[in-house]
Structure 1
Amino acid sequence: MANKTIGIMQPYFFPYIGYWQLMNAVDEYVVYDDVNFIKGGWINRNRILSDSEPLYINVQLSKASPNKKINEIDIFDDPRLEKKLYMTLQRCYKNAPYYKEAYPVLERILSKMNGNLAKFLFSSIQEICDYLDIHTKLILSSELEKDTSLVAEAKVIDIVKRLSGDRYLNAIGGQELYSKEHFADNGLELRFLKTDGIVYKQYDNAFVPGLSIIDVMMFNSKDRIQELLNQYELV
């Protein structure tokens, strides 16, 4: 039986529910803000529901580059872009059943959409954790003392050990990156979280899976989201 479980993920822009399941399932969650930015990933974009189809929303960045770490990138500060995003969310979700509860949270988050990207994303994660009643301890990777010469799996193992963890929980996609044997050699258990088939009512449309947590918040009560957070299996 594990005594302390650690999760580590990059900060994403309103990520899908699996991200929050992972965060809710661990004791401490490291927001990996001092790794290189990935273009075309989920760090500064996600998808919401628009007229029964997925629609991308994003954070406009200033001089973003894969040669920069996430916490070295700034947001392109333009109030017009912020206003456009508000209007898109209103248009897409004003008739959703939990719009009145969820929208003020999003509005509060988006009002801080400026300055450093990593700080904004970390703040948004904290706000949504408060709304979803996720009480996991959040840690910024850049504030951790660690061996910066290490990379990939060795770096993750180092972080877990420094936090006195004995189990590392990763998203299911990590099966291609991490070896249970390597973790076991370091006295650590490695497990992967696989989200069960989550389906909920989205207006009267055919269900579109894998959208941003925004969509989950708009169509589900907080109590129902608590249930959805536990719809996974560990492999």
Structure 2
Amino acid sequence: MRSSFYQKLEKQVRNCEFPIPGSVAIIQPYVFPYLGYFQLLYSVENVVFYDDVNFIKRGWINRNKILVNGKEFMFTIPLQKASQNKLINEIGLVENQLFIQKFRQQLRSAYKKAPYYAEVNDVIESVFVGEYSNIGDLAIVSILAICRYMNMDLNWMKSSEEFCETKGQAKADRLISISKMLACDTYINPVGGKTLYHKDYFAKHGIDLGFIESGRVKYKQFENDFVPYLSIIDILMFNDKTTVIELLNNFDIG
């Protein structure tokens, strides 16, 4: 007999109904993340930005990739004393107008001839005019700005504000606790979590665990050979909102 999760999922896919009822994603905030991140947000009813867990150096919290001269280019938001011994919401930003100016110039040079440069650049500019106490808040605002641009409703909260009493629990146990506190019976994780979390363990605690995996994505980037796995910035520069929504729907959950 198939689990309630798979029965529910099959109904969603047949009827193109997302978000999945009673679902939650709990994920670290990334600055202008990749398409798969937004597919995860799109698929669930509730989003918890996991901002009170340890910062990961050389991860995606404060950096991502854009297209420069037909090749991927990594941009990095400068931080104050970044350390994997600190929580995401404990790491401040370097007040560096030079970086903002340089990043603005990089975007203009890279995308000024892209069809949606003007409107997408306005979205990016709206993020960098704010003041932030830590990198987590800047990353969250970058995500919310993109969601507003794509008319995506997001029921979101921060783990540091709403679920601080769950700190100290084991990784899977904390995710289960937060899911239950939200009265959610389905937890969706990026596909990379298959090595960390197990369906049987979640099921023992009354939670259906699913993993989201992006389908094949390809679109025109000027006249270059396609460069995959870039920031959502790149997708928005080259595609109208209707196409982006189609790309958002291009995923599987298993």
- How many pairs are equivalent? 235
Query: Take 1:134 and 1:230, find their aligned partners in 2: how far apart are those partners?
Result: 13
How is 1:65-214 mapped onto 2 (pairs within 5 angstroms)? 65-112=83-130, 114-145=132-163, 146-214=165-233
SS state of the match for residue 20, structure 1?
helix
Contact preservation (8 Å) 2:202, 2:208: yes
- What is the CA-CA distance between 1:113 and the residue it aligns to? 6.2
How is 1:8-23 mapped onto 2 (pairs within 5 angstroms)? 8-23=26-41
- What is the CA-CA distance between 1:13 and the residue it aligns to? 1.1
**Greater CA drift, 149-158 or 70-79:** 149-158
Contact preservation (8 Å) 1:77, 1:114: no
User: In the alignment, residue 155 of structure 1 is paired with which amino acid?
Assistant: R
Distance 1:83 1:149, change over 3 A: same
Query: Take 2:239 and 2:224, find their aligned partners in 1: how far apart are those partners?
Result: 15
Contact preservation (8 Å) 1:77, 1:113: no
Q: Deviations over 1:87-109 (max 9, x none)?
A: 00000000001112211001111
SS state of the match for residue 81, structure 1?
helix
Q: What's the RMSD between the two structures over aligned residues?
A: 1.1
User: In the alignment, residue 231 of structure 2 is paired with which amino acid?
Assistant: S
Contact preservation (8 Å) 2:28, 2:61: yes
Contact preservation (8 Å) 2:202, 2:209: yes
User: In the alignment, residue 156 of structure 1 is paired with which amino acid?
Assistant: L
Query: Take 1:123 and 1:50, find their aligned partners in 2: how far apart are those partners?
Result: 24
Corresponding residue of 1:31: 49
User: In the alignment, residue 61 of structure 2 is paired with which amino acid?
Assistant: I
- What is the CA-CA distance between 1:122 and the residue it aligns to? 1.5
User: In the alignment, residue 133 of structure 1 is paired with which amino acid?
Assistant: N
Query: Identity over the aligned pairs, expressed in percent?
Result: 41
Query: Take 1:189 and 1:114, find their aligned partners in 2: how far apart are those partners?
Result: 36
SS state of the match for residue 166, structure 2?
coil
Matched, 1:221 2:243: no
SS state of the match for residue 27, structure 1?
strand
Query: Take 2:218 and 2:203, find their aligned partners in 1: how far apart are those partners?
Result: 35
Unmatched runs of 5 consecutive residues or more in structure 2: 1-7, 9-19
Query: Take 1:56 and 1:196, find their aligned partners in 2: how far apart are those partners?
Result: 23
Query: Take 1:224 and 1:60, find their aligned partners in 2: how far apart are those partners?
Result: 33
Query: Take 1:147 and 1:229, find their aligned partners in 2: how far apart are those partners?
Result: 31
Contact preservation (8 Å) 1:82, 1:113: no
SS state of the match for residue 125, structure 1?
helix
Distance 1:113 1:87, change over 3 A: farther
Contact preservation (8 Å) 2:23, 2:45: yes
